[in-house]
Amino acid sequence: MSDHMIETTLSELERYYDTVPRAGGARAEDFGPLTLFVQEGDGWQYYARPALGGAGATAADVERVRARQRELGVPEAFEWVAENSPSLRTAVEAAGLHVHAHPLMVLDPAAAAVPALPEVRLLGADDPLLTAAVTVPALGFAEPGTAVGEAGVAELAAATADPEAGARRDRVSAMLASGRTVMAAAARDGVVLSSGQYNPVGDVAEVVGVATLPAARRRGLALGVTAALVARARESGIRTVFLSAGDEDVARVYARLGFRRVATALIAEPPAA
Ligand SMILES: CC(C)(COP(=O)(O)OP(=O)(O)OC[C@H]1O[C@@H](n2cnc3c(N)ncnc32)[C@H](O)[C@@H]1OP(=O)(O)O)[C@@H](O)C(=O)NCCC(=O)NCCS
């Protein structure tokens, strides 16, 4: 990808990040150079991020947002693209937050399609596999990285019986029905082993929540799930597909599908107690 393409894509991503919480029903609170997105009711809690076209924020701006986040009882989280808001990291760190960096990757438009896996399919809003598919990420993200781990089918069955799994299912089902998300899952013998989603806004989509049960890792399932998402995104006319990879090991999986690192996604939160 040329430097010009990367620059254009980074501006598109800035608009995407500003639109997606609003499209999801979040309220945007204006803090000058920063915007705090607040989700009403139950569900995914958003973050604060640079206001679209806003000037550089100071540590005092970050503090004002943190005070409001504490008042609302929402996470003191900030997310942004390092290259788009180069001075924010210093301000956020001066305010006492801890910053994590993640490779921000964009699918090369020239990437060749990867053959589909027979056990992978897209899920509809009423799919019987949906509760398991939305629960796999809870187990997967509890064991970050790409190594094989312990949690498997028995742990998934226990986790899907939890009422929180039903609530998560209902939220994702509503998003699937309204076209705000697309979900794919890999299942064997009716058991979901890996799943992932993409969230489209116009012709830009972010791939999110890709996870494989720790006991089912290193068999090509996440590659297959992400390939199915990419194929559907392309068929639906999405021009820009992007994602933030957990770390360099995870980024390698996406690189096999033609995702290229173009920038760094930064997430800030209070240091662990
Ligand atoms: C990252 C994650 C989704 C990968 O899932 P996965 O199903 O194991 O992924 P894959 O099997 O496609 O690829 C993982 C590795 O297994 C290897 N592999 C794939 N098929 C294989 C096979 N048949 N035999 C041996 N190795 C194989 C791949 O080459 C890759 O190797 P690498 O680490 O050297 O690059 C999973 O580890 C996970 O859930 N991690 C925690 C959550 C997370 O970080 N998600 C990503 C957020 S961006």
The answer to whether position 268 is within a domain reads no
Helices (H), 179-245: 221-235
Do 217 and 144 share a structural domain? yes
Question: How high is the pLDDT of residue 1?
Answer: 80
The answer to whether position 115 is within a domain reads no
Do 164 and 96 share a structural domain? no
Do 146 and 241 share a structural domain? yes
Q: Give the residues surrounding ligand 1 with Cβ less than 6 Å away.
A: 140-141, 144, 146, 194, 210-212, 217-223, 243, 245-246, 249-250, 252-253
Q: What is the pTM of this model?
A: 0.95
Do 93 and 192 share a structural domain? no
Compute the chain's Rg from CA coordinates. 19
Instruction: Look at the chain and count its residues.
Output: 273
Do 252 and 125 share a structural domain? yes
Q: Of 104, 138, 160, which residue sits at a domain end?
A: 104
Identity (one letter) of the amino acid at 61?
Answer: D
Q: Of 104, 136, 159, which residue sits at a domain end?
A: 104
**231 pLDDT exceeds 90?**
yes
Q: Which residue has the tokens 């509809």?
A: 124
Q: Give 10-22 pLDDT, tens digit per residue.
A: 999 999 999 999 9
145 Cα: distance to centroid of ligand 1 (angstroms): 9
How is residue 258 written in tokens? 């033609």
Give the count of alpha carbons within 13 A of 18, CB side only: 17
The answer to whether position 141 is within a domain reads yes
User: Based on the structure, what is the number of domains in the chain?
Assistant: 2
User: Which atom of ligand 1 is nearest to 243's Cα?
Assistant: 48
SS3 128: coil
From 187, 107, 110, 112, select the one nearest 153 (Cα to Cα): 187
Q: Of 80, 104, 128, which residue sits at a domain end?
A: 104
253 Cα: distance to centroid of ligand 1 (angstroms): 6
Do 245 and 125 share a structural domain? yes
Do 95 and 197 share a structural domain? no
Using DSSP bridges, classify how beta strands 240-244 and 204-212 pair: parallel, antiparallel or unpaired.
parallel
Contact present, 96 and 246 (Cβ < 8 Å): no
> Can you give the residue range of the structural domain that contains 57?
3-104
Do 171 and 98 share a structural domain? no
The answer to whether position 265 is within a domain reads no
Contact present, 244 and 101 (Cβ < 8 Å): no
Using DSSP bridges, classify how beta strands 191-201 and 182-188 pair: parallel, antiparallel or unpaired.
antiparallel
Q: Average the pLDDT over 115-132 and give the result.
A: 96
Q: Give 260-269 pLDDT, tens digit per residue.
A: 999 999 999 9
Question: How high is the pLDDT of residue 64?
Answer: 97
**44 pLDDT exceeds 80?**
no
The answer to whether position 269 is within a domain reads no
Do 202 and 125 share a structural domain? yes
Do 134 and 253 share a structural domain? yes
Do 198 and 130 share a structural domain? yes
Task: Please report, for the domain that includes residue 165, its CATH number.
Answer: 3.40.630.30
First to last CA, the chain: 42
The answer to whether position 226 is within a domain reads yes
How is residue 35 written in tokens? 């915007």
The answer to whether position 138 is within a domain reads yes
Closest Cα to atom 18 of ligand 1 = 218
User: How many whole angstroms separate alpha carbon 1 and alpha carbon 141?
Assistant: 30
**42 pLDDT exceeds 90?**
no
The answer to whether position 262 is within a domain reads no
User: Which atom of ligand 1 is nearest to 186's Cα?
Assistant: 7
Q: Average the pLDDT over 232-257 and give the result.
A: 97
Do 124 and 253 share a structural domain? yes
- pLDDT over 90 percentage in the chain: 90
